[in-house]
Amino acid sequence: MSANTHNTLNLWGVLSESKRIINVHSRHFLALSVLFLLPLSFSLITYPTLQTSLFQSGFTIFPPENTHLSAFPDNPTRILIPLVFTIFAVLLSVLAIATITYSTFHGFYGRPVKLVSSIKSVLFSFFPIISTLFISNAIVGFITIFFAFFLVFVVKGLEFLGLEMGYDSYYFMGLVICFGLVLVLVLIWLQVNWSLAYVIVVVESKWGYEPLKRSGYLVKGMKLVALSIVLFFGVLISLLVVGCSSFLVTLGEASGRWTSFGVIFQMVVSSGFATLLMLQSLAANVVLYMYCKAYRGELAFEIAEEFASEYVCLPFDNEKVPHLVCVVQD
């Protein structure tokens, strides 16, 4: 791999290539973004405001006289609305990952991308993505529970040794902060290692734990680039969504002007920016996947296969030495 290639193996090289692919097929990616990413980003920004508004107004789906017969709390809406929102967000996320990853992968090779083909790809990758999502969240949940139990064990051990560990003590707060920082670092490390998992699900038709393992293998040697992408998009999207949603909730509680033109305009603009960031993030993961395969020496064979269909095998060539395709990276 030459020096020029090394220079592109960074955050800006990945962003530049992903932006190029999106610009070449701008209308295609715009359609996918409007279908899946825009509703997702809009719901993430407006959900806290909607939830606060409904709960303050006493909105309920079930009649009050029937709630005592169920296992739900006094207002089942407090559970039902977050549950419906979670299912809605996960569904849109899976559809966006499947279609945009499929289109970006084919766009990287310069193949034509069609909206119908991208949507049809969901049939083959929907449940594999769900299974991989379930496994990854189960691992994250297990690690979080382990840290929580270990924190309790350490606190009880220090109390047994005679150290005062009240919930308002500086020792307890310092211990919780230290455990929290370590947990965050572990989760970021997992996210970096798993950053290519959903691309592998769509492109290589793997599912469950296998894409997570495969992603960890491909990312070796490129973890700094993967970390840059995770932090860059993670911080920007989080700040945008959390900041705008918090502002809307605060504004609504203060003045009740959730339906004013200025608030609606801010919702639309914020959702648009969040949509662009999500689209760029998904495309960047696909480009990083291709870079990692090139770094591992796996991409040259795929490129040779890509151009193999351009040649015709003649009957009198069967006994001759086959052609050797050499891929040179400038």
Show me where the domains of the chain are located.
Answer: 12-53+78-298
pLDDT confidence band for 326 (50 / 70 / 90): very low
pLDDT of residue 77: 66
According to the model, what pLDDT value does residue 244 have?
86
pLDDT at 258: 60
Mean pLDDT, range 288-300, rounded to an integer: 86
219/214 Cα distance (integer angstroms): 9
What angle, rounded to 10 degrees, do the helices at 122-160 and 77-108 form? 120
Write down the pLDDT at residue 32: 96
Give the pLDDT of residue 312: 42
Q: How far is residue 79 from each of residues 53, 63, 72, 83, measured CA to CA in Å?
A: 15, 15, 8, 6
Lowest mean pLDDT, pick from 133-147, 191-205, 288-302: 288-302
For residues 139-159, average pLDDT = 91
What average pLDDT does the segment 114-131 reach? 94
pLDDT per residue over 150-163, tens digit each? 988 988 888 787 77
State the average pLDDT for the chain: 82
Rounded average pLDDT over 159-176: 78
Q: How many CB atoms lie within 10 A of CB 33?
A: 23
Q: Does the reported pTM lie above 0.85?
A: no
Give residue 111's pLDDT.
86
Among the listed residues 104, 276, 321, the one whose alpha carbon sits nearest the alpha carbon of residue 199: 104
- The pLDDT tens digits for 228-277 are 999 999 999 999 998 888 877 776 655 556 666 767 788 888 999 999 99
Distance separating alpha carbons of residues 104 and 199, to the nearest angstrom: 10
What is the pLDDT, as a whole number, of residue 58?
A: 54
Q: State residue 62's pLDDT score.
A: 52
The Cα–Cα gap between 27 and 127 comes to 27
Residue 34 has pLDDT above 60, yes or no: yes
